[in-house]
Amino acid sequence: MKNLRIAHIAEAAIWLSLALLLFVNSFDFNQEIEIYKYGASAWPRALLLLIVVAAIGQLFGQWLRGESQGSEMLGKASDDGAELAAELSDHNNPKWLLWTFLIMTIPFFYMNVPGIVGDLLSLEKAGLNHVKLLTATVLLGIFLLAIRGNHIGGMLTLPLLFGAFLQDFGFYFTAPFFILGTMYLMGERRWKNMVMIGALIMGIMLALFVSLLYVGLPTGIISPFYEFGTSIVNLLQ
DSSP structure string for 51-115: HHHHHHHHHHHHHHHGGGGGHHHHHHHGGGTHHHHHHHHTTT-HHHHHHHHHHHTHHHHHHHHHH
Residue 2 pLDDT: 58
The verdict on residue 111 lying in a domain is no
The verdict on residue 120 lying in a domain is no
Residue 145 pLDDT: 95
Per-residue pLDDT of 120-157, as tens digits, reads 999 998 999 999 999 999 999 999 999 988 888 899 89
Residue 177 pLDDT: 93
Question: For 221, which DSSP code?
Answer: S
3-state secondary structure of 169: helix
What pairs with residue 65 in β-bridges? Answer: none
The verdict on residue 85 lying in a domain is yes
Domain span at residue 35 reads 1-92
C-alpha–C-alpha distance, residues 181 and 195, integer Å: 11
Instruction: Count structural domains, the chain.
Output: 1
Q: Which pairs count as long-range contacts for 210-217, CB under 8 Å and 24+ apart, including other chains?
A: 210/236, 210/237, 211/236, 211/237, 217/170, 217/171, 217/172
The verdict on residue 150 lying in a domain is no
Residue 74 pLDDT: 44
The verdict on residue 169 lying in a domain is no
Residue 88 pLDDT: 47
Give the predicted TM-score (pTM) of the model.
Answer: 0.68
Per-residue pLDDT of 187-198, as tens digits, reads 888 889 899 999
Residue 133 pLDDT: 95
The verdict on residue 228 lying in a domain is no
Cβ atoms of 11 and 97 closer than 8 Å: yes
Sites in the chain below the pLDDT cut of 50: 35, 69-71, 73-74, 76-86, 88
C-alpha–C-alpha distance, residues 118 and 114, integer Å: 6
CA distances to 39, 79, 230 from 36, rounded to whole Å, are 6, 50, 30
The verdict on residue 207 lying in a domain is no
The verdict on residue 149 lying in a domain is no
C-alpha–C-alpha distance, residues 121 and 116, integer Å: 9
Residue 84 pLDDT: 45
Chain centre distance of CA 44: 14
